[in-house]
Structure 1
């Protein structure tokens, strides 16, 4: 079953990645005060940012590698760079164009850490696969 999902991701990665990126931007730019008030987990916002950018970096890696045929190392570098820059742009936009959200440097750190962990996971996965061959 996992292989079937992986094949779907490889086949439709560009569409999935673009939709995920748009959804993430939307969620980060809309007013969510009521939802945030109902979540009583300490640092829930930072956990969301970390997780969201972990997924974003992996999706961009898969898209760059399988759809655009960029080699693995460059795909990793481009995916992390895109994810970090995307996160910074979203934070700037939160402070500049929204009235209900504000920029937070800690969100940028959480985004970056999520993307870095994704990069590390991808790198380790690639190294393990190379050693098996």
Structure 2
């Protein structure tokens, strides 16, 4: 387990950042004219794209061969993390709202990263 965590330090740091950002109170800034409709979904997609890229990077550094199953596994981990955040928003951090659309955006970001990683690694 320690060897696995050795390669996932960036992923864990990013996960803490995402957890903090997705559960903080936004206040009136959420209604600022600088944010366009859908900005929240784009942010979720980008957060989980980066999370999955970092997780796959750590996995590739840990073991030399990267398989389709590894990409699917990292995708599943990212979606589970996204679902955890939405559950926390729904039941614990009640100033935020857990939404299916956010989980979908998380899944799209994770899927884009897993697909991109498969293409680049296999090339």
- Shorter-chain TM-score bucket reads 0.7 to 0.9
Q: Which has the higher contact order (CA 8 A, sep 6+)?
A: 2
Tell me what 1:57 maps to. Answer: 52
TM superposition shift of 1:86: 0.2
Q: Distance in 2 between matches of 1:58 and 1:64?
A: 10
| Larger radius of gyration between Structure 1 and Structure 2 | 1
Runs (4+) off by over 4 Å:
none
Q: Is the 8 A contact 1:14 1:63 kept in 2?
A: yes
- Cα distance change on mapping 1:120 and 1:54 into 2, 3 Å: same
Aligned residues: 116
User: Which among 33, 51, 58 is matched to residue 27 of structure 2?
Assistant: 33
Question: TM-score, normalization: structure 1?
Answer: 0.80
What secondary structure sits across from 1:72 in the alignment? coil
In proportion to residue count, which structure has more helix?
Answer: 1
What do you get for the CA RMSD once the two structures are aligned?
1.6
Q: Distance in 1 between matches of 2:45 and 2:64?
A: 26
Q: Is the 8 A contact 1:20 1:56 kept in 2?
A: yes
**Mind listing any 5+ residue stretches in structure 2 that lack a counterpart?**
1-5
Question: TM-score, normalization: structure 2?
Answer: 0.86
1:90 pairs with 2:96: no
**Mind listing any 5+ residue stretches in structure 1 that lack a counterpart?**
1-11, 129-133
